[in-house]
């Protein structure tokens, strides 16, 4: 009788425990579904507000990405709290899962860590022009595993767009050098070499090049100096000469004048083209300035053949 009573009590206890466990799982499932749906609704509302209030494409894209990533991490945190109440169990589970993933998905994990590094350290942002390894382009998106670039250069001259989209894994941030053309100081130094003949008035040509360069960049000087002062607070950068300058060198076919000037990274080709046209037009109006180019001269040497008596004297 006691066995029967004990067995019935044990059986009822097991059944009630199973029912309670299933009820708890159903409750957790419903809570999880509610969290996910609420996050989706909130993301939709916030993105709609962002699209209405922010007109510039780049800040709008950054804001939308920030909303999505923030809500994503909040959902993960809430789901972890709902399903795993004991923090020790969470730590053990994360350790086991992390060890397995580190072996199977090493490159993916490095790209993920690279994404976190990019978000925290900001070596580049959306809209920056960068060179990452052997890839160059404008950053148009930064995702968990890769950075999307609008490619420049390659078969196109003067850092202009090729029209191709390049997906660079975020792991490259740890393995290759990263060059940023625009962060903090969106100007780069450019050069235009011009060679004139030795007979030309090179002093006048030099002055013409400087005048044209100053006309093109006179509006940029206040902005450039302000940016230099701002950068000098964080980096030991001291540019003494910000205005255009012309360097002189004696070349094989004439006097080479190299114009060095500042231009915005995305405007490099336009500025170079405008300056080249202005310089050529100014040179064309001067009679004492002529462009030089490599030339060759062929000189013929006439030789007289020696007579046989001179080469082989007659024996006496």
Q: What confidence score (pLDDT) does residue 11 get? A: 47
Tell me, yes or no, whether 304 lies in a domain.
no
Q: What confidence score (pLDDT) does residue 8 get? A: 47
Q: What confidence score (pLDDT) does residue 205 get? A: 95
In this structure, the answer to whether residues 154 and 215 fall within a common structural domain is no
Q: What confidence score (pLDDT) does residue 266 get? A: 86
CATH of the domain at 175: 2.30.30.60
In this structure, the answer to whether residues 197 and 255 fall within a common structural domain is yes
**Torsion region of 163: left, alpha or beta (phi above 0 gives left; psi -120 to 50 gives alpha):** left
Between helix 106-121 and helix 87-104 the angle, nearest 10°, is 110
Tell me, yes or no, whether 301 lies in a domain.
no
Q: Alpha helices of the chain — where are they, by DSSP H?
A: 2-53, 57-83, 87-104, 106-121, 172-175, 202-217, 221-231, 268-284, 308-311
Tell me, yes or no, whether 219 lies in a domain.
yes
200 in Cβ contact with 254 (< 8 Å) = yes
Distance CA 178, CA 125 (A): 12
Q: What confidence score (pLDDT) does residue 294 get? A: 77
In this structure, the answer to whether residues 280 and 191 fall within a common structural domain is yes
Tell me, yes or no, whether 5 lies in a domain.
no
Tell me, yes or no, whether 275 lies in a domain.
yes
49 in Cβ contact with 67 (< 8 Å) = no
Q: What confidence score (pLDDT) does residue 21 get? A: 65
Q: What confidence score (pLDDT) does residue 210 get? A: 93
In this structure, the answer to whether residues 236 and 165 fall within a common structural domain is no
Number of domains in the chain: 3
Q: What confidence score (pLDDT) does residue 12 get? A: 47
Q: Which domain holds residue 57?
A: 17-104
In this structure, the answer to whether residues 265 and 216 fall within a common structural domain is yes
For the chain of 316 residues, list the mean pLDDT of each consecutive stretch of 10.
47 58 73 86 86 77 79 80 61 61 69 90 91 91 90 82 91 91 85 93 94 84 77 69 88 92 88 93 92 74 52 48
Tell me, yes or no, whether 199 lies in a domain.
yes
Q: What confidence score (pLDDT) does residue 161 get? A: 87
Tell me, yes or no, whether 296 lies in a domain.
no
In this structure, the answer to whether residues 174 and 158 fall within a common structural domain is yes
């Amino acid at each position: 009788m006691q066995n029967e009573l004990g067995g019935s009590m044990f059986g009822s206890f097991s059944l009630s425990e199973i029912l309670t466990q299933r009820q708890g799982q159903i409750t957790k499932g419903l809570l999880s579904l509610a969290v996910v749906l609420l996050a989706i609704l909130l993301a939709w509302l916030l993105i709609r507000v962002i699209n209405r209030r922010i007109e510039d494409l780049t800040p709008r894209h950054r804001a939308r990405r920030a909303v999505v990533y923030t809500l994503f991490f909040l959902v993960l945190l809430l789901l972890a709290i709902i399903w795993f109440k004991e923090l020790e169990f969470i730590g053990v589970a994360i350790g086991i899962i992390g060890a397995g993933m580190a072996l199977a998905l090493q490159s993916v994990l490095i790209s993920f860590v690279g994404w976190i590094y990019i978000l925290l350290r900001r070596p580049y942002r959306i809209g920056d022009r960068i060179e990452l390894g052997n890839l160059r382009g404008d950053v148009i998106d930064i995702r968990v595993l890769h950075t999307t670039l609008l490619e420049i250069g390659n078969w196109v001259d003067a850092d202009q767009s090729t029209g191709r989209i390049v997906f660079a894994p975020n792991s490259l941030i740890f393995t290759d050098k990263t060059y940023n053309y625009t962060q903090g100081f969106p100007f780069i130094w450019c050069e235009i070499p011009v060679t004139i003949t030795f007979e030309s008035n090179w002093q006048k040509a030099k002055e013409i090049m400087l005048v044209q360069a100053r006309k093109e960049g006179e509006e940029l000087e206040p902005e450039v100096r302000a940016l230099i002062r701002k950068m000098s607070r964080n980096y030991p950068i001291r540019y003494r000469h910000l205005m255009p300058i012309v360097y002189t060198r004696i070349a094989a076919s004439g006097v080479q004048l190299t114009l060095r000037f500042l231009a915005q990274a995305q405007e490099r080709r336009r500025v170079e083209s405008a300056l080249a046209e202005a310089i050529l037009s100014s040179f064309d109006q001067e009679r004492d300035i002529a462009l030089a180019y490599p030339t060759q001269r062929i000189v013929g040497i006439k030789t007289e053949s020696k007579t046989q008596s001179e080469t082989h004297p007659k024996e006496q």
